[in-house]
Amino acid sequence: MFIKEHLENGIPVVMESFKTVRAVAVGVWVKVGSRYEARAENGISHFLEHMFFKGTKKYTAKDIAVEIDTMGGDLNAYTSRENTAFYVKVLDEYLEKGVNLLSEIFVHSTFPEDELEKEKQIIREEIKMVEDTPDDYIHDLFNETVWGREGLGQSILGTRETLASFTRENIISHIRRYYGTKDLVIACAGNFDHAEMMKILNHRFGGLRQGSEPKIGPAPAFSSKAKVFPKDLSEAHICIGVPAISQVSEERYALFILNSILGGSVSSRLFQEIRENRGLAYSVFSFTSSYLDTGLWAVYAGVSKKRVSEVADLIVREMMRLKETITADELDKSQRHIKGNMLLALESTNSRMNNIARQEMYFGKYISPDEIIKAVDQVTLDQVTDLSERLIRKSLFSAVVYGPVEKDVINGIF
C-alpha cells in the first residue's frame, strides 16, 4: 500500500508497506548531484557523501560500522548526476534503531578535520580504480565528450585537482545551500506501520531547516563528434550514441522498448549479431541515461583493436535500420521483457524504495506497477518506429573509443 505524507517541517515522505517481508528500507534523497556543481567544485557532492560516515556527535566512524553490523543491516549512500541518496536497510525489529542511525549521520555528522585528508586519499584510490576499469571509465569519457566539461559532462567523483582543494568550510557551505527541507525526499519500503514510521521520522528529521532547491539552466546541447582516447589496454572500448529524451518524457516507454530491441537483452539485435553470430565481443549492450531535461541513448562494446571499425560500423548500421525493420513480434517480446524485469526488480525493498523516491523527485506522484504495465502495453509499433526515426540520424551520432587504437580508427563511420 502506497501512502504519501509530509513531516511537520514539510519534507515529503513516500511509503510503500507490505507484510510479506521482514526487511524495511528507509532512504533520504537530496536533489543535488554532480551536474549542479561549479567546475571548481566538481566532486563536492560525492566527497560530502563519504564524509557523512566519518563520525557524529554521538558515534565515531567505527561506532557507526559496528552499530549497523550488529543489526545485520546495510547503511550506505551513493551520488549520481542529479541526486545524492543515503539509506538504511534492516530487519523490521530494528526499524527505530536503523532510522536513528541514518538520521545520526545525516543530521549530526561533525566532519572532523583529521578525516578530510584520509577520505581524499580514499577517493583518489576510487578515481584510480575507475580509470583502471576501462568499461567504466569510457562512460565518463563519453559523457564529457557529448555534454562538455560542465554540468552533465562532469565526473561524479570529481578530479584530483578539485578534490585536493576541498575544505571543511566547502562541505558546510554545500550543506547549507542544498540540504534543507525543500531539497529532500524520504522514501520507505517494506514491513512497517505508517503511523509509527511518521512518528520516528518526525522525531529524527523534524528539526531540519528550510532550504532552496538546486537550480539548473537550459538543457545542455549534445555534441555530435567522434573522439579517440589512445591507451595501452588489452582491448578497445567503444561508446556510440545519440541524444534522447528526458526522464519525464511521455515517450519514455517507447524508448525502453527500442532499447530492449536494440541491445538491452540477450536476445537483442546487437547481442545476437555482434556476440552470438560473429563472436566479435564478449560485452555489448545498449543503454539509456535520462535526466530532468534531456538524455542520451548509446551502445557500449569491448572488442579487439583490430575489430573497432567493423564493430562500430555494425552498431551504426543496426541503429540506422531500426526504423524500417522493427516487427510486431519484437515489440511484443520487448514489452514482456520490460514488464518482467520491472516486476522482478520490485521484489526487493531497496528497489521499491528507490522507485518511489525517483517517482516523487521527477513526477511528484506515485505511478503504480499496474499503471506502468498498462503504459508499456499501450506503446504501438508506429510509436516506436516514429521515435527511432526522430532520434537516430547520422548527423546526431557521437562516438568515443578508448584503448590501443589510432586516432583515425573511426573516421568515415558516420
Q: Which ranges constitute the DSSP H helices of 227-307?
A: 252-262, 269-270
State the CB neighbour count (10 A cutoff) for residue 333: 17
Amino acid at 153: G
Catalytically annotated residues: 49
HSE of 217 in the Cβ direction (CA atoms, 13 Å)? 9
Q: Which ranges constitute the DSSP H helices of 113-167?
A: 113-131, 134-147, 160-165
Closest CA to 367 of 352, 384, 345, 347: 352
Residues 6+ apart with CB under 8 A from 310: 280
In angstroms, rounded to a whole number, what is the distance separating the alpha carbons of residues 130 and 410? 24
Tell me how many degrees the CA angle 186-188-191 measures, rounded to the nearest 5: 160
State the CB neighbour count (10 A cutoff) for residue 15: 23
Instruction: Sheet containing 295-303: give its strands across.
Output: 226-230, 398-403, 236-244, 295-303, 281-290
In angstroms, rounded to a whole number, what is the distance separating the alpha carbons of residues 187 and 359? 10
Task: Output the nine-digit C-alpha cell for 210.
Answer: 528550510
DSSP assignment of 42-75: TTHHHHHHHHTTSBBSS-BHHHHHHHHHHTT-EE
Task: Output the nine-digit C-alpha cell for 93.
Answer: 525489529
Task: Output the nine-digit C-alpha cell for 248.
Answer: 519525464
C-alpha to C-alpha distances, 307 to 73, 336, 404, nearest whole angstrom: 46, 34, 12
**Residue position matching grid coordinates 538543457:** 219
In angstroms, rounded to a whole number, what is the distance separating the alpha carbons of residues 189 and 173? 32
Sign of the torsion angle spanned by Cα atoms 302, 308, 309, 311? negative
In angstroms, rounded to a whole number, what is the distance separating the alpha carbons of residues 231 and 404? 5
